[in-house]
Structure 1
Amino acid sequence: MHQQAQRAVAGFQRARRRFRRLDHLARAVVRYDHTDGGRLAAAVTYYSFFAAFSMALLGFAILGSVLDDAAALRPVQGYLSRNLPSLDAQALREARGTAGLVAFVVLPVAGLFWVDALRSSIRAMWRLPQYPGNFFLRQLIDLAVLAGLGLLLTASLAAAAGTRILLNRLLFGAADAAGPPGRWLLGTAGYVLGIGVNVLLAVAALTAVPRLRMRLRRVLGPALFVAAGLELLKTLGRSYVQRAEANPAYQVVAGAVAVLISLSVLNQLVLFAAALTATSTRGSFTDLAEPAATPARQPTPTAGPTNNQRVIRRRGRPVRRMVGTTGKAHPPGRRR
């Protein structure tokens, strides 16, 4: 049994030397394990749950404002009935004021804690100082990163929705004429748009949050890994919520449990992607949080040997000799 284990380990080491991608994956797994990625993901999940709750309240407030328009009420009600049957559009419309107030108060605080936890965890994967710089400056930068991520998320979702609507209008006739192939084409386009938005957000999370700058080829693969995992997670999460809501015993906690599980898996994906990025050999990276190196000072006249001294290294040890006006060296302790 012991010999078989040794042969298996030797075979795996040979495979690592032969396939660079396998070696990279093995190094990322070791880095994730040594840095205790599961515990870090749990810490990020704790703070991201409150941030997600605040963002949901803000979304409900915005959605409640949109529902004042009778033309928008009908499609929103149809979407909620298909995906979130427990939510009522009229209830959202009535609760928009309170939800918006709570969101605007809680979201910045919860968001700052979430960015702080995510930044420190990703930098831990890179084996960099987790809390660089001044405390107050760090909070301001984290707040700017949070606002930037929010704007990026809004712009990305708006662009994806606009592109999907445009494709739907362009291919509507083809979908009616071709039947299932046209609908399959529309579904594929929506999936590709979702992957694109997820990749953009993953790149921002892996670079802007920890304040690292690197080549795109170094971060693109891990970002694709996060994007694909997020799409799969959304599909499984939607199925879980629909099944849980059908059981009266699970309706009370189904939503919260689904959010916690989804956030935990998502944060583990992000941190493992950070381990993949940190152990990659594709190009160098720059730590933007590290202060710029100060220029070296010129040595003072008294810092080194004077004009009448010369340091000669012999066998690794410096030997100081006095040099007279004639330029000849004299051993120390002896007079000329």
Structure 2
Amino acid sequence: MNRVTAAWRHARRRHGRVDHLARAVARYDEADGGRLAAAVTYYAFFATFAFALLGFSAFGFVLDRPEVQQVLQQYLAEHLPSLDIERIRIARGTIGVIAFLGLPITGWFWIDAMRSSIRKVWRLPEYPGALVPRLLIDLLALLGLGLLLAASLGTAFLTVTVVNRLIEPAADATQSRWLLAAVGFAVSIAVNTLLATAVLTGLPRLRMPLRRVIVPALIVAGGLELLKTVGRAFVQNVEANPTYQVVAGTVGLLFTLNIINQLILFATALAATSDTGDVTDLSAHAGSPGPSPGQADTG
């Protein structure tokens, strides 16, 4: 055991990345990241349904255009074959009302839990400022993330569609599939990285150089892409058995959300223990006490 400990200490002294990883793990454990992720997952579970209903409602209104409906049918046939877009189109009004009423409430609870958890990992006050201004800022952050998500997904969908039309007549089926898969993967990583960067910096109200947050954001992006691949296989395996669909879908969603939240909080620990660039707590300018994250202990 002494040899293992000595070898580990030597590796930390010799390799900066190993030492950084060790400090990030220690910071995550100190903040009780697993418990924080579970708390965020509880609120994210309800917010996800509201987000999904809003998305389905929006899809329902664009499905009146035949060209859009054809493209969506092809996409859903490959990724979510059990989803009936005709039912979505019929129920779009009711779905939209429910989502419009439920999203601000469930979304705020999720934003509040995520923001306070990230700030705890940074060793900063979890609830900066007074309640009303904090609530308004959180709702603006929720709106901003929603718009960013919509714009990112729209851009990704458009990019893949355009590339698919360009390569379809110019290459054989095998080459087209590989090229389209590569483009889709690259676009997904870019979208996930953008969203992860927004969550890691915007929600906790921190300003830091891109070089400090880019690696943690890429880790989250890669994890999301892996979870998407595993989740797609999971859905395809359980959709044939109606008995499993309800339970497996709910459990699968909870498991996925928990893993995502743990990824985000561990990425936060990586950013918090990095010594690259300075970090500014933007909420401190509004009178929120607490240490500057740029000067926090990196141990």
List per-residue Cα deviations over 1:132-166 (Å, max 9, x = no partner). 11110000110111111111111111222222222
The answer to whether structure 1 residue 64 and structure 2 residue 60 are counterparts is yes
CA distance 1:169–1:83, change in 2 (3 Å): closer
Question: What letter corresponds to residue 66 of structure 1 in structure 2?
Answer: V
TM-score by length of 1: 0.82
Task: Find the counterpart in structure 2 of residue 164 from structure 1.
Answer: 160
The answer to whether structure 1 residue 39 and structure 2 residue 35 are counterparts is yes
Task: Find the counterpart in structure 1 of residue 281 from structure 2.
Answer: 287
Once residues 77 and 192 of structure 1 are traced to their aligned partners in structure 2, the CA distance between those partners, rounded to angstroms, is: 23
Q: Pairwise mapping of residues 1-336 of structure 1 onto structure 2 (< 5 A)?
A: 5-176=1-172, 179-291=173-285
Higher relative contact order (CA 8 A, sep 6+): 2
User: Shift of residue 259 of structure 1?
Assistant: 1.2
Task: Find the counterpart in structure 1 of residue 293 from structure 2.
Answer: none
Question: C-alpha root-mean-square deviation of aligned residues, in Å?
Answer: 1.4
Once residues 237 and 63 of structure 1 are traced to their aligned partners in structure 2, the CA distance between those partners, rounded to angstroms, is: 22
Number of matched pairs: 287
Point out where structure 1 has 5 or more consecutive residues left out of the alignment: 294-336
Which has more strand, going by share of residues?
Answer: 1
**Stretches (4+) displaced over 3 A:** none
Structure of larger gyration radius: 1
Higher mean displacement: 100-109 or 74-83: 74-83
Point out where structure 2 has 5 or more consecutive residues left out of the alignment: 288-299
Identity %: 59
Once residues 75 and 210 of structure 2 are traced to their aligned partners in structure 1, the CA distance between those partners, rounded to angstroms, is: 37
SS in 1 for 2:128: coil
Question: What letter corresponds to residue 81 of structure 1 in structure 2?
Answer: A
Once residues 241 and 182 of structure 1 are traced to their aligned partners in structure 2, the CA distance between those partners, rounded to angstroms, is: 25
SS in 1 for 2:77: helix
SS in 1 for 2:239: helix
TM-score by length of 2: 0.92
Question: What letter corresponds to residue 274 of structure 2 in structure 1?
Answer: S
Residues 77 and 88 in structure 1, CA contact (< 8 A), matched pair in contact too: no
Residues 129 and 286 in structure 2, CA contact (< 8 A), matched pair in contact too: no
User: Shift of residue 292 of structure 1?
Assistant: 6.0
User: Shift of residue 249 of structure 1?
Assistant: 2.4
CA distance 1:70–1:163, change in 2 (3 Å): closer
SS in 1 for 2:283: coil
CA distance 1:292–1:108, change in 2 (3 Å): closer
Residues 57 and 100 in structure 1, CA contact (< 8 A), matched pair in contact too: yes
